A and B are shown apart, each in its own frame.
Chain A
Amino acid sequence: GENVEQHPSTLSVQEGDSAVIKCTYSDSASNYFPWYKQELGKRPQLIIDIRSNVGEKKDQRIAVTLNKTAKHFSLHITETQPEDSAVYFCAARVTGGGNKLTFGTGTQLKVEL
Chain B
Amino acid sequence: NAGVMQNPRHLVRRRGQEARLRCSPMKGHSHVYWYRQLPEEGLKFMVYLQKENIIDESGMPKERFSAEFPKEGPSILRIQQVVRGDSAAYFCASSPSQGQYNEQFFGPGTRLTVL
Q: Point out residues on A near B: beta carbons under 8 Å.
A: 1, 6, 31-32, 34, 36, 42-46, 49, 51, 89, 93, 95, 98-106
Contact = CB atoms under 8 A, between A and B. Distances in A.
A51 B45 contact: no
Nearest to B44: A103
Contacts of A46: 103-105
A93 B98 CA distance: 12
B59 interface: yes
Interface of B: 4, 31, 33, 35, 40-45, 48, 55-56, 58-59, 91, 95, 98, 100-109
A1 B43 CA distance: 15
A101 B91 CA distance: 13
Nearest to B43: A103
A45 B102 CA distance: 14
A46 B4 CA distance: 14
Nearest to A43: B106
A44 B45 CA distance: 14
Given A43-B106, A44-B43, 5 more contacts: A43-B91, A95-B100, A98-B55, A101-B43, A104-B42
A11 B72 CA distance: 45
Contacts of A1: 58
A43 B106 CA distance: 6
Max chain A C-beta neighbours (<10 A), residue from B58, B106, B108: B106
Contacts of B59: 100
Contacts of B40: 106
B95 A99 contact: yes
Contacts of B58: 1, 100
Nearest to A1: B58
A39 B94 CA distance: 20
A103 B42 contact: yes
Nearest to A98: B56
8 contacts: A6-B42, A89-B43, A99-B33, A99-B48, A99-B55, A100-B59, A103-B42, A103-B43
